[in-house]
Structure 1
Amino acid sequence: MNRQVKQVLFIVAAISLVLVLIGFLPNMIMFGLGALLALWAGVRFMAVTHVGAKIGYGALAVIGIITILSNIWALIGIVVAWVLFKGYMMYANQKQDVEIFNADGSRASRSSFQSFDQVWQKFVNRR
């Protein structure tokens, strides 16, 4: 498979993953809010000593856990976001082929850059 076909396939995959991510975004927001509520209420539950406050914070923690469990589809969105991030990092870290052109527009050969140190020394000595 040549490079252009791979690029097209990766672009199509990225677009479809972004659409899936957008579709699961409301679930992900509610999942996060439920997790924050459960965490906050759990910490407050452990901190208070009054029975009424414990019942109230326990009820809030249960509501947060129910919100998390009702939005369990958000885990698919989180996995998709992770796959997109990893795919982007793999693409960004690839060594790109750099094409260097001469002033007239022709492609420069690699041999023209092999003696760079010699050319640089001539330039420095000429000053």
Structure 2
Amino acid sequence: MKAKLIMVLLCLSVVGNANAISASYRSQLEKSGCTQVTDGNGTCDIHKSKRENMKHHHAELAPAERTIDQAVAGKKLSEVVPLLVANGWEQDDNAPLEFVSKEGVRMILDVNQSNDQVQGVNLK
């Protein structure tokens, strides 16, 4: 019994904290506003500031926003929702005019309440 107890105590004293990432990498992630996933897939640069990464992110979304705008502007909301869902966008249950892509991009529809027409979109 003593031998088992000594072995357990010895093992516990040898085992230390297991950190998945180093402190310097964690610091870079915090300063850049990146996550391990966005750093790994190349959509965020840990060597840039949060502001630079956000500016780059918004610059990438602008062409997509224009393309979606052209496809849905002027259409009735009842036509647009099935079109977006068919193209992989998931409607937010808590906000019926918001959709989320598989990549995590959030789309907010700008709808004219008087005639139920979509006027445009905002991507975030």
**Structure (1 or 2) with the greater helix fraction:** 1
**Structure (1 or 2) with the greater strand fraction:** 2
- TM-score, normalising length from structure 2? 0.27
Q: Greater relative contact order (Cα 8 A, min sep 6): structure 1 or 2?
A: 1
- TM-score, normalising length from structure 1? 0.26
**Whose radius of gyration is greater, 1 or 2?**
1
